[in-house]
Amino acid sequence: MSCAIAKLDANSADFESALNTLLAWDSVSDPKVNQTVDEIISAVKADGDKAVLHFTEKFDGMLLSHFDELRVPKQRLQQALETIDPVQREALEQAAERIRAYHLHQRQDSWQYREADGTLLGQQITPLDRVGLYVPGGKASYPSSVLMNAIPAKVAGVPELIMVTPTPGGEANDMVLAAAAIAGVDEVICMGGAQAVAALAYGTESLAKVDKITGPGNIFVATAKRAVFGQVAIDMIAGPSEILVYCDGATDPDWIAMDLFSQAEHDEQAQAILISESEEFIAKVQASIDRLLPDLEREAIARASLEGRGALIKVADRQQALDLINRIAPEHLELSVEDPELLLPEIRHAGAIFMGRYTAEALGDYCAGPNHVLPTSGTARFSSPLGVYDFQKRSSLIMCSAQGASDLGKIASPLARGESLEAHARSAEYRILPED
């Protein structure tokens, strides 16, 4: 059965309207979900441990009498690491090492300098004290997300990293626990949903609040993260996964089809788009999609994604392709062309850029090294991948010498009086040195 993925021409009269419809995504907007999340957060704020245990029983079927029963002993993490498939353990360890090596390059140090009169200016960079990491559980288990969130936090120097993950029926995912052991997570707690986000944000009798919450989750988790923003920091409100492939027509169409599937199989709302100047190549990719899709394990999900939000777009030339890339600002961008590095100066908006015919986006999801937590839904126009810098904060340093305070006071005083802030002006004026 042919996959009814949309075919668009960037030069058609109705293209802009069709593109706007294709890209439209209003995340975390369900009023019923908002109401449920607000009720859960209010309950956790009011009743702490008791509310968390109530919702854990309600949603995960775990009847517990004390919050400490949710905590996973350190030896359980080590046990998971030692009992998973040796091939999987080696893959996790190799991926972790590559992710750590990449993120070490992002680490920043404090800096300062002195002006001629002795005034010191600079910036002190320090890690966050406590970070909460949300990891999905149940049917979805993502050990790669543990590595991608936890390792940058540890490289940044975060001393306490608390991982929460739901365990429906009390069943924990050993790959997730093993990844936590490898990444150096300090504590794992078996709770999920909005109640876990609320517990991290506000704290309970048995859990101190954190400074930031990162990690993916369902719509209830995303809604809860948005609701607690301001009480704590969050990484982002992520929409469905996206891939945009720009191909010059010389890559194997089967490769391109599978690259599109790699994001379409995430969920029905994921988005996979191909851009090419070659109408003949687009037809070949369509044929590959039709041939390969029926054998995909998650065929129904991928088909719904491709038919609902996917597209094969014909462009007139490379410049039109580049303009379209920047217009879409994709989460994942594959430049499946002969000379991808030549295009980089013209690409302004993309979460991660995969260059060349051999660089499948899937490599970035797991083990290339750069972070796979990326801005979605066009937010790459103003957002960046998760990194070490997300787990650090910066304090400005100012120490004036007597002469420096005097010189700066002569500047600050008229500015303060211009804003009718007399105390500001007089505070600066007190430090102005008398004229000789």
Identify the active-site residue in 103, 332, 349, 372: 332
**CA pair distance 347, 344, nearest whole angstrom:** 5
Active site residue 332: yes
List the structure tokens of 275: 């851009």
H-type alpha helices, 157-269: 174-183, 193-202, 219-228, 253-264
Active site residue 341: no
Count CB-CB contacts under 10 A for residue 417.
15
Residue 123 has what DSSP assignment? E
- In terms of Cβ atoms closer than 10 Å to its own Cβ (0-12, 13-18, 19+), residue 169 is exposed
Greatest alpha-carbon span in the chain: 92
What distances in angstroms separate CA 93 from CA 143, 325, 341, 361, one per listed residue? 11, 35, 30, 20
CB of 67 closer than 8 Å to CB of 206: yes
The helix (run of H) or strand (run of E) holding residue 313 is strand 311-314
CB of 213 closer than 8 Å to CB of 134: yes
Identify the active-site residue in 331, 334, 349, 372: 331
Q: Name the residue among 383, 394, 371 with its Cα closest to residue 151.
A: 371
**CA pair distance 350, 179, nearest whole angstrom:** 28
**CA pair distance 56, 169, nearest whole angstrom:** 10
Distance of CA 198 to the CA centre of its chain: 19
The helix (run of H) or strand (run of E) holding residue 332 is strand 332-336
Contacts of 427 (CB under 8 A, 6+ apart): none
Catalytically annotated residues: 331-332
